[in-house]
Structure 1
Amino acid sequence: MTKASQKIASRSNAPLADGRRERSRSSRSKIVAAMLDLVGKGDVAPSAARVAEVAGVGLRSVFRHFDDMDALYREMGGAIEAQVMPIILQAPSGASWKEKLLDIADRRATVFETILPFRISGNLKRFQSPYLMQDYRRMLRLETEIIEAHLPASVKADVTGAHSLNVILSFQTWRLLRHDQSLTVEDAKAVVRRLLNDGLAGMPDE
């Protein structure tokens, strides 16, 4: 084959290759969207077969794009994190550290409500998944670091008091109120605010 004919063949094959890549990207997107949809609607441990069914792809396609369910959870986690991380990392408003924590509490209610089914899903599988366990611990550290960044030295020195603030503002407390006790969002927010105000009342202002 001459160089000219090779170039012509290459150009003629390019649309086919581009089409395959586009179909592959489309299938992958459908699989991730199906996982997000299923978990978001309460199916916190969907099977690969169920994901494939909702995505409208074959079961082999799921594992062609994702080596295992861990990889799919990783992709799902990345999508959720991209959605909520700007809220989490936004500097809290307030003139004092106590006002800042109250603002963090309000914003965490929004974030925790968004991620609730996805965190429950991850928690169910994290004891069988090194990745999910690592991600769980990473998020715990982040929750703690954000609070501690606004605590005065006198409060940090009160280890028990600092831990109590972390418990009040934790995802686990929100899950307990919303999932286990079936409180409404507004009632759960009111409980967290009451706990936080009571906890802050006995702490120094600076």
Structure 2
Amino acid sequence: MDVETFAHPSQQLTTPARGDRVARTREAIVGSALALALAGEVAPIVRDIAKMAGVSARTVFQHFADTAELYVAVLGRVLAAALGEVDFNMSWPLDERIAMIINQCSERGERLLPMWTFVETLQRRSNDASEMIVQMYTANRTQLASWFEHELAALPADARERTLNALAMTLAPESWVVLRERLGLSVDQARDELTFVTRAVLSGGALRA
């Protein structure tokens, strides 16, 4: 993933009166880069991004210092969409909560799947991207602690932490990539496997107690 830079990055569109137009242009650039990443481009080039956004390459670099900064903006958009809340009542039976959570994980995984190589490559080459990934996993672990609060609260501290870590690993995006791409499972098969492992992790936590 090479980084393209503009010869004069100091030329920025910062005039307040142009605020709306600047925001729309930036949105178009990020959206175009995202579309190319979703199409399988590991490192979308500025020429293609600019063409899709209907702007010049020069304009792209008036909004972003280099492609690395643009890619990080794309990653931020993807992760924000991937961390949506699951709308369910904590009083629901465990199986219903698991079903809702697996459904969310599968939807998130399918959104990330086409651009997973882009994400992995970017996080290796950008500290900002790596930090965003860490924040995603931290947020995911916090959500899991809330979703399974009742089951985890019944465990001793050590078993609770180990069970929560195992859940976070099971429901991480990489797990979906392994099931779908490495093992070649269908969406329904991958959901079934995640459901099975999630139940096993929670049962194992109870046994450790």
- TM-score normalised by structure 2 residue count: 0.74
Percent pairwise identity: 23
Partner of residue 201, structure 1: 203
* More moved, 155-164 vs 123-132: 155-164
Q: Is contact 2:86–2:104 with CA below 8 Å preserved after alignment? A: no
User: Which range moved further: 90-99 or 111-120?
Assistant: 90-99
What residue in structure 1 maps to residue 171 of structure 2?
A: 169
Give, in whole Å, the separation in 1 of the partners of 2:91 and 2:109: 21
Structure 2 residue 114 is the aligned partner of structure 1 residue 117? yes
CA deviation string 1:184-205 (max 9, x = no partner): 2112111111222233334439
The equivalent of 1:69 in structure 2 is 67
Q: Which of 158, 172, 183 is residue 185 of structure 2 equivalent to? A: 183
Paired residues of 2:37 and 2:44 also in contact (CA < 8 A): yes
Q: 1:121 to 1:155 in 2, by over 3 A?
A: farther
Contact kept in structure 1, 2:180 and 2:187, CA below 8 Å? yes
Q: CA RMSD in A?
A: 2.9
CA displacement at 1:116 relative to structure 2: 2.9
Residues 31, 55 of structure 1: 8 Å contact kept:
yes
Give the corresponding residue for 1:103: 100
Letter in 2 for 1:53: K
Match of 2:78 in 1: 80
Show the counterpart of 1:5.
Answer: none
Q: Is the 8 A contact 1:93 1:99 kept in 2?
A: no
Displacement after TM superposition at 1:174 (Å): 0.8
Q: Which residue of 2 aligns with 1:60?
A: 58
Moved more, 104-113 or 196-205: 196-205
Which whole-Å CA distance do the structure 2 matches of 1:75 and 1:93 have between them? 34
Does the aligned pair in 2 maintain the 1:168–1:196 contact within 8 Å?
A: yes
TM-score relative to the length of structure 1? 0.75
Structure 1 CA distance for aligned equivalents of residues 112 and 156 of structure 2: 29
Quote the Cα distance in structure 2 between the aligned partners of 1:94 and 1:101. Answer: 13
The unaligned stretches of length 5 or more in structure 2 are: 1-15
Higher RCO (CA 8 Å, separation ≥ 6 residues): 2
Give how far 1:42 is off.
1.6
Alpha carbons 1:94, 1:100 under 8 Å: kept: no
SS at match of 2:35: helix
Determine helix, strand or coil for the equivalent of 1:71: helix
Q: How many residues align?
A: 188
CA contact (8 A) 2:42 2:115 kept: yes
Structure 1 residues 181 and 45: CA distance shift in structure 2, 3 A? farther
Alpha-carbon distance, 1:133 to partner: 0.6
Question: C-alpha distance in 1, partners of 2:55/2:162?
Answer: 52
Q: Which amino acid aligns with 2:97?
A: K
Structure 1: how far apart are the matches of 2:136 and 2:124?
A: 16
- Paired residue for 2:144, among 138, 144, 147? 147
Structure 1 letter corresponding to 2:191: K
Change (3 A) 1:174 1:155: farther
1:126 to 115, 123, 128: 123
Larger radius of gyration between Structure 1 and Structure 2: 1
